[in-house]
Chains A and B, each alone.
Chain A
Amino acid sequence: MKSTSFKCTCIISQHSPGHVLACTSCSRICSLIQFHLFQIDSHLKFPNTNEINQNLKHTIPFYLTAEQSFSWLIQSTLSKCHVTSLLLFFSKLQTSLRPISITSTMSFKTAAKRGQFDLDRYVGNLRVKTYKEFAKHSRLPTIPAPIPTLRKDERLIGEAPIVAGDLAYIVSGKHKGKISRVLLYTRDNDTVLLNEVTKNVVIPKQYWAANQTSHVLEYPVPIPRKFVRLAAKEKDEKGNVSYVVAEDLVFKEKYYDDRLKRWVPRRFVKHHENIEIPWPSPMSEPKDDQYSTLTEDVYNKTHELQTVAKSPFPKSVLNELRNPYSKFKKRELTEGQARRLNAPQMPLSVEQKIYLAKKAQTPVKKLEPLSEEAKDLIGSRMAEHLAKIKNPLLLKHLEAVSQKTTPEFQRVLNEIEGKQD
């Protein structure tokens, strides 16, 4: 316990508020909003369930990622196994939080999944082995190995047919025929923890709970859901108790359940659809704490849009929202920005300097217009040749060719003139 919690605090203290964290179990990403360090010593004593609960409530909300594990912890602290679940929780915390670095080309989701251990990449027996290997670190050696989690595509989708608080009828195994209350249904490995299916587990004294008096603790054993059926208690007028066991269920229209505070479908026994099995009440009522929003605050309407013609924001707020002094809105470049935009000139090497000096010494070749002699030579040759041509079409063609202008000729003439000027 000591080592576990010590490691745990180390990992937590690596991160500070504002860090982006990803949960390895659910891949959810969030930023650390608040940060409380665990008081290890005080926790080592584990005074009683309520106190742990109270302490954790003050310490846990430092992150949102492990929302899942948080709710699980709250549930499990109410059950018998709070000590071990706390252990599990610590180890989960240890592995589930890690900082992620994101490159510009990568999506946030990809970055969060990169390089992390993913059990879904393992199949078959290897998956079971790997899971058990990992699970070793998160439990006491006396506690039996947990059932491996299902692959994502094998997991149950939609409403869970059995929830905490339900009655379950065991159809197979040593406890066949028993009807027991469900403590917890885990979707990850599709198992239930039952109130009456427990195993005696030896707990070292250092991990004892405050009210624990024996080394032996009753520990609920996870049972795959296929070995249990949903059961319901029935009482007739005479007060005789009978049970209904549903082989399968049918979900029908949804209604708002005020106890659960959400919309849930009504469930009926398949092929006997006149028998409804109501959802159980939650095993514990949610309690208000320093982070919960008060009911009156929820119903208090603070803003209402009256007209689109009028801005919902007062004018004085706009500048605060838009920040006209943003560095991205400045028209002028700072010296540093200008320096970054203009690349510095590379210094010349010795060879380059020698070459340039030599080049400066050699006179630039000047273009001269054609001399009279050359003009005469060309003209006489042309006249002689043209006189021999009898074909009028060829003459016409030559006329057209000589009419053609080129930009290069104009450039050369300009150069000659420019030089002369």
Chain B
Amino acid sequence: MSLTAKEAFAKLPQKLHTFFIKHPPRPLAQYATTPSTISDPQKNPFLPNKNEESGKWHAAKYSLRRSADLYKMALKYGLAELLPPIPHKKFHEERYNDKKWMRGLLFQKKRKWERELPTKLEQRRVAMENMDETILKARPAYKKQIARREEKKRTWF
């Protein structure tokens, strides 16, 4: 059962209705996404605006709590896009998706030797593999020892 536009509008909560009377819905009115001046017709009621004459900033007409209230209520009725933009706040999943987590929450810090251990082991492994070349560089006579080792090497045949 789908409602008509008029029937659906009758279900608009009074809080949102009041807001839309004061600040018409988005496509019919344009709102700035950044703080503006108080004389700007497109000033955003959720953002602070500057009085250019006195140089003083007027606080946002709607506090963070009230703007969150309005946004969440509008979202329930599918009207979130009609509200003036709230670029400085994120809600629900969006808030958690792009969240910059604390490093301590993401991984354990450990002690310094513990943190450096995997790199150290890798370096050691690589060094052991290339040990012959390293020794050869320092001691050229080592090539005889390598040759003897090659001779003595056990094979299947």
Q: Which positions in A face B, CB cutoff 8 Å? A: 367-371, 373-388, 398-399, 401-402, 404-406, 408-409, 412, 416
B13 touches A404 (CB 8 A): yes
Q: Which of B71-79, B94-102, B128-136, B143-151 is found at the contact surface with chain A?
A: B71-79
B8 touches A367 (CB 8 A): no
29 contacts between A and B (CB under 8 A): A371-B24, A374-B28, A377-B25, A377-B82, A378-B9, A378-B20, A379-B7, A379-B8, A379-B9, A379-B12, A381-B78, A381-B82, A382-B11, A382-B77, A382-B78, A382-B79, A383-B3, A383-B5, A383-B7, A384-B78, A387-B2, A388-B78, A402-B13, A404-B13, A406-B15, A408-B15, A409-B14, A409-B18, A416-B21
| Partner of A379 from B5, B15, B73 at Cβ < 8 Å | B5
| Size of B's binding interface in residues, CB under 8 A | 28
Known A-B contacts A381-B82, A382-B79, A406-B18; A374 and B5 likewise in contact (beta carbons under 8 Å): no
CA distance A408 to B12 in the complex (A): 15
A401 touches B9 (CB 8 A): no
B27 touches A401 (CB 8 A): no
| Partner of B14 from A378, A386, A388, A404 at Cβ < 8 Å | A404
Known A-B contacts A379-B8, A386-B3; A409 and B79 likewise in contact (beta carbons under 8 Å): no
| Partner of B12 from A373, A382, A384 at Cβ < 8 Å | A382
CA distance A284 to B76 in the complex (A): 107
Quote the shortest CB–CB distance from B7 to chain A (angstroms): 7
A412 touches B21 (CB 8 A): yes
Quote the shortest CB–CB distance from B72 to chain A (angstroms): 11
Which residues, 54 to 112 on B, are CB-close (under 8 Å) to A? 73, 76-79, 82
CA distance A399 to B13 in the complex (A): 9
A402 touches B79 (CB 8 A): no
Q: Within 8 Å CB of B21, what residues of A?
A: 367-370, 412, 416
Q: Does B119 contact A (CB under 8 A)?
A: no
B9 touches A382 (CB 8 A): yes
Q: Within 8 Å CB of A384, what residues of B?
A: 78
Name the residue on A nearest B16 (C-beta). A378
CA distance A401 to B14 in the complex (A): 9
Of A386, A387, A398, A412, the most chain B CB neighbours within 10 A belong to A386
14 further interface pairs, Cβ-Cβ under 8 Å (given A375-B6, A379-B8, A383-B7):
A373-B28, A375-B9, A376-B5, A377-B82, A381-B77, A382-B9, A383-B3, A383-B4, A383-B5, A385-B79, A388-B78, A399-B11, A406-B14, A416-B21
Quote the shortest CB–CB distance from B1 to chain A (angstroms): 8
Name the residue on A nearest B3 (C-beta). A383
Top 6 nearest A-B pairs by Cβ distance?
Answer: A385-B78, A379-B5, A379-B9, A409-B14, A383-B8, A382-B8
Name the residue on B nearest A409 (C-beta). B14
Name the residue on B nearest A384 (C-beta). B78
Quote the shortest CB–CB distance from A349 to chain B (angstroms): 15
Quote the shortest CB–CB distance from B92 to chain A (angstroms): 15
Scoring B residues 24 to 35 as 1 if CB is less than 8 Å from chain A, else 0, what string do you get? 110110000000
Q: Does B22 contact A (CB under 8 A)?
A: yes
A408 touches B18 (CB 8 A): yes
B17 touches A387 (CB 8 A): no
Known A-B contacts A377-B28, A382-B79, A399-B11; A370 and B17 likewise in contact (beta carbons under 8 Å): yes
CA distance A372 to B142 in the complex (A): 95
Quote the shortest CB–CB distance from B146 to chain A (angstroms): 76
Name the residue on B nearest A388 (C-beta). B78
Q: Within 8 Å CB of A367, what residues of B?
A: 21-22
Name the residue on A nearest B24 (C-beta). A374
Which residues, 32 to 47 on B, are CB-close (under 8 Å) to A? none
A387 touches B3 (CB 8 A): yes
Q: Within 8 Å CB of B28, what residues of A?
A: 371, 373-374, 377
CA distance A40 to B8 in the complex (A): 109
| Partner of A402 from B11, B20, B22, B24 at Cβ < 8 Å | B11
Q: Within 8 Å CB of B79, what residues of A?
A: 378, 381-382, 385
Q: Within 8 Å CB of B15, what residues of A?
A: 404, 406, 408-409
CA distance A408 to B66 in the complex (A): 14
| Partner of A380 from B5, B12, B17, B24 at Cβ < 8 Å | B5
| Partner of A383 from B2, B18, B27 at Cβ < 8 Å | B2
CA distance A320 to B52 in the complex (A): 71
Name the residue on B nearest A365 (C-beta). B22
CA distance A243 to B27 in the complex (A): 125
Name the residue on B nearest A373 (C-beta). B28
Quote the shortest CB–CB distance from A113 to chain B (angstroms): 55
Of A387, A402, A416, the most chain B CB neighbours within 10 A belong to A402
Quote the shortest CB–CB distance from B13 to chain A (angstroms): 5
CA distance A416 to B20 in the complex (A): 14
Quote the shortest CB–CB distance from B141 to chain A (angstroms): 83
CA distance A136 to B11 in the complex (A): 100
Q: Within 8 Å CB of B18, what residues of A?
A: 406, 408-409, 412
Quote the shortest CB–CB distance from B20 to chain A (angstroms): 6
Q: Within 8 Å CB of A381, what residues of B?
A: 77-79, 82
Q: Within 8 Å CB of B77, what residues of A?
A: 381-382, 385-386, 398
CA distance A370 to B28 in the complex (A): 11
| Partner of A401 from B22, B24, B73 at Cβ < 8 Å | B73
Known A-B contacts A368-B21, A374-B28; A379 and B13 likewise in contact (beta carbons under 8 Å): no
